[in-house]
């Protein structure tokens, strides 16, 4: 896989994906953050999954399971 | 054990452990939107640094992630002789490496790092070019899975 070989695919609005499926809009957003903010985003994701998994937080939206 | 990256990095800093952040957390700090559960560090293998590392690991209650569930601690001898230490600490999973890719050590890679401010800390992070190179050399499924994102991130950083 060459560094300069991936071609991007324009989709609706400003979002676009690379030909290999990589979400370029997500990278674009992440690059606007500082390293501290990037690490905090990763930590937030882990904390949220951890809390959901351990029943410390209820998923928002959708119906309650029967 | 929930990973707490910043607190683990703060412990390494407070014990003055010479290290380079590599792996997934390095990718995140360099701008790649990926997820990871462990902190990977490449350590300098001088005896003084391994002593500092040993003290730090003791403070965070590190033990090996042993499939048999045994409590095995990273002793000074183990730290000197093994290439990879997959540890679980009170602050989450920590992988301590003395080599990455096809045998690159701290001294080989320290010139390919960026100093980054993270919170109140200043950390040394492997740059994306070298991170991609080491992932290609390692060539495991988990490395190949993130390579497209790392490559696109590097390309977009270079275009900026």
Q: What are phi and psi of A64, to 5 degrees?
A: -70, 140
Under 8 Å CB-to-CB from A20, ≥6 apart: which residues? A1, A6, B148
Residue linked to tokens 């991130």: B153
Each residue of B69-89: pLDDT tens digit?
Answer: 999 999 988 998 999 999 999
Mean pLDDT computed over B118-147? 94
Higher pLDDT, B6 or A5: B6
Chain B residues closer than 8 Å to A46 by CB: 2-3, 35, 37
Q: Strands of B68-126 (E only): list them.
A: 84-89, 92-97, 113-118, 121-126
- pLDDT above 70 covers a percentage of chain B that reads 100
| Percent of chain B with pLDDT strictly greater than 90 | 89
CA closest to A48 among chain B residues: B2
Rounded CA separation B109/A15 (Å): 36
As averages over each run of 10 residues, the pLDDT of chain A (66 residues) reads: 46 66 92 97 93 80 61
| B125 or B159, which is more confident | B125
Nearest to B157 by CA among B130, B136, B133, B128: B128
What local confidence, expressed as pLDDT, does residue B85 receive?
Answer: 96
Q: Is the pLDDT of residue B109 over 50?
A: yes
Give the tens place of pLDDT for each residue, B43-70. Answer: 999 999 999 999 999 999 999 999 999 9
Q: How far is CA B40 from CA B2, B9, B43, B51, B159, in A?
A: 15, 11, 10, 19, 28
A-chain CB neighbours of B125 within 8 Å are: 35
In this prediction the ipTM stands at 0.93
Q: How far is CA A35 from the centre of its chain?
A: 16
Residue B35 burial (CB count, 10 A): 13
């Amino acid at each position: 896989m060459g560094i300069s070989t991936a071609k991007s695919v324009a989709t609706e609005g400003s979002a676009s994906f690379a030909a290999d499926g990589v979400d370029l809009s997500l990278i674009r957003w992440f690059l606007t953050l500082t390293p501290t903010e990037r690490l905090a985003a990763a930590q937030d994701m882990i904390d949220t999954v951890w809390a959901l998994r351990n029943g410390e937080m209820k998923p928002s939206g959708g119906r309650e399971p029967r | 054990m929930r990973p707490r990256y910043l607190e683990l990095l703060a412990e390494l800093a407070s014990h003055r452990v010479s290290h380079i952040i590599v792996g997934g957390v390095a990718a995140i700090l360099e701008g790649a939107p990926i997820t990871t559960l462990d902190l990977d560090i490449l350590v300098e293998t001088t005896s003084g640094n391994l002593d500092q590392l040993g003290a730090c690991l003791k403070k965070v209650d590190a033990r090996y992630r042993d499939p048999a569930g045994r409590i095995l601690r990273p002793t000074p001898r183990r730290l000197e002789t093994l290439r990879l230490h997959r540890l679980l600490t009170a602050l989450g999973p920590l992988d301590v490496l003395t080599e990455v890719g096809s045998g690159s050590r701290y001294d080989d890679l320290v010139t390919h790092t960026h100093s980054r401010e993270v919170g109140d800390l200043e950390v040394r992070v492997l740059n994306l070019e070298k991170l991609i190179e080491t992932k290609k050399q390692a060539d495991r499924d988990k490395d190949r899975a993130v390579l497209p994102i790392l490559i696109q991130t590097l390309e977009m950083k270079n275009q900026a």
